[in-house]
Structure 1
Amino acid sequence: MAFDELNAKITSEEEARSFIKYAGAAYCNKRSLLNWNCDNCNGYTTGSSETVYFSKQKTSAAGYLTVNKNKKLIVLSYRGTKDIVNWLYNLDFSFVSADLDWPYNNAGIHSGFDATTKSLLSNSTDAIQNALGKYPTFKVVFTGHSLGGALAALTAFRLAQNGVIPWEKINLITYGQPRLGTPEFADFLNAQAWTSTRVTSYGDLIAISYGRSLGYAHNQHNMHINKYGQTIQCSTYKEDKNCIGYIGDFSREAHFTYWDQRIKTKC
């Protein structure tokens, strides 16, 4: 798939490295997040406060918003797959309409991801509106790992479409995120004036799911860590075989390791 229009920007490698702990922190329990006292609540994340935690039992989805006044940041982070309920939604890979106008009116989104995103959308909306009401000039970053990356991306999409936050203010940084929807949906996301970065590691099966043979496509941009640990800036014209062409060489560790950091899911 070639991308028709590209207005989306990519973040720096330094910033992509910085938000790994914020993505990983979403796996931690409510109490440790509210007190910002968890295995991932250190390093770049130090000083985060005013944390709001949200979850939904039906979809087993969870996420949080936190504010880092020192860095002038508002961060929304969503948890990746934790249990069988998450997997049931993950495996619901039929398409639902993205409800977009022409020429993207045929755009479709992964049904399970969409349902999970919508289950937290009112919480996400309230949290970001309250935070921006207090700190309107702060940078807003959406992040997450695996399923959490999909939820971060789709939450940002829904909030922008609902007029809660302008596209220009959205910074999306995800890790090991699967594909979200159809090529038309990817084209729509590429056309928006936001900052969108998917960090992927060589050998990660999830990052190249769901397959293009099923009608799925990734949007831009892909920052890829190759088998030698080198960071590759992938093609901005189409999905780059140098960044996704490792079928048959999968590794579980690749889904959790980014540069010299490992995302801890038991937190």
Structure 2
Amino acid sequence: MPWQGNSNSLSRRSAIPLTSLDISTLAPYTQLARAAYCPPSRIKNWGCGQACNAIPGFQPTIMGGDGGAVQYYFVGYWPSQNSVVVAHQGTDPFNAFAVLTDANLFLRSPSQALFPGLPSDISVHGGFLDQHEITATVIMAEVKRLLATKLSNKVILVGHSMGGALAHLDALSIRLQMPLVQLKVVTYGLPRVGNPAYAQYFDLMVPDAVRINNQRDVIPIIPGRSLGFQHTHGEIHLTTATQAVACSGTDNAVDAQCTIPTVPNIFVGNVLDHLGPYLGIPIGTIYCY
């Protein structure tokens, strides 16, 4: 299936329409990303409303964050998929501290302690690195514990907005520390995370990754490529409320159905599209019910 992150399958065409089956299989990951906006008190017993109800049987094991200085997050076990799940809250536009964190966009090298063996030419958004460093150690420890106790070898990472960037960084850190683990990454409204060297390396190390953009959302086009940033592969662009295409390459600026031609600059975008709905499912703090 083209949206599963196999860039080779997309090499002959710029954009491939997704089938209704492709679209329906994305819904559980969207609900997990939606659940990440709910406070830990509601995640603890998996009582976060519609998002939690959509994933029956999910077993959250650790959760944290305050929704501001530290984005909400949770780790748990998804029995039907025999997978460990890591989910991060994204940027809450109503929380000034989180917005300012996003503004810290200077590129810098990640820590070798969290990313052992990472090539020295790789640089990442400084604000995302700061947030990742706060939770990386505790999340990594819980992932390792769950993989061992549940006899699993699969980790699914999801997130919206900055939460997607944190999911990317968690995935790369896990890959470098546990190279045999199967990783799947699904993000929504993902901003650019790092430089071209980062994008190329991530694509090599985490091939099963998709980033879903909703219509005229402006967040996926920032930080700008002129600032030294580049997207990873796996773009899925929701062209309407019910239709989507899988776009080849990284920053696909060629096909009119992909994000960059649709939103060439922030002045023609719609920030409300950042909240979705993502094929019928909205994501954000106000949708935790």
TM-score normalised by length of structure 2: 0.81
User: 2:198 maps to which residue?
Assistant: 185
Q: Whole-Å Cα distance in 2 between the matches of residues 251 and 190 of structure 1?
A: 28
Percent of residue pairs bearing the same amino acid type: 24
Equivalent runs, 1:127-142 vs 2, <5 Å:
127-137=142-152, 139-142=154-157
Structure 1 or 2: more strand by fraction: 1
Q: Does 1:249 align with 2:268?
A: yes
How far apart, CA to CA, are the structure 2 residues paired with 1:198 and 1:149? 8
CA shift, 1:253, in A, is: 2.9
CA contact (8 A) 1:23 1:78 kept: yes
Structure 2, unmatched stretches of 5+, are 1-5, 11-17
Any conservation in 1 of the 2:153–2:181 contact (CA below 8 Å)? no
CA deviation profile, 1:13-52 (whole Å, cap 9, x unmatched): 4432221110011110111101100122111x11111431
Higher helix share: 2
- Can you list the C-alpha shifts for 1:212-238, whole angstroms capped at 9, x where unaligned? 111110011111111464211102265
Going from structure 1 to structure 2, the CA distance change for 1:265 and 1:58 (only over 3 Å counts) comes to closer
The amino acid that maps onto 1:20 is T
Match of 1:261 in 2: 281
1:48 aligns with 2:58: yes
Name the structure 1 match of 2:237.
224
- 1:94 matched to 2:106? The reply is yes
Cα 1:7–1:97, aligned 2, differ >3 Å: closer, same or farther? farther
Corresponding residue for 2:3? none
Output aligned runs, 1:225-240, within 5 Å: 225-227=238-240, 229-236=242-249, 238-240=251-253
Structure 2 counterpart of 1:218, one-letter code: H
Note the aligned Cα RMSD (angstroms): 2.7
Alpha-carbon shift at residue 144 of structure 1 (Å):
0.5
Q: After the TM superposition, which residues 1-267 of structure 1 pair with which residues of structure 2 at under 5 Å, given as runs?
A: 12-39=22-49, 40-43=51-54, 45-55=55-65, 59-82=69-92, 83-98=95-110, 104-137=119-152, 139-161=154-176, 163=177, 165-166=178-179, 169-227=182-240, 229-236=242-249, 238-241=251-254, 242=256, 243=258, 244-245=260-261, 246=263, 247=265, 248-257=267-276, 258-266=278-286, 267=288
Structure 1 length normalisation: TM-score? 0.87
Task: Report how many residues are paired.
Answer: 259
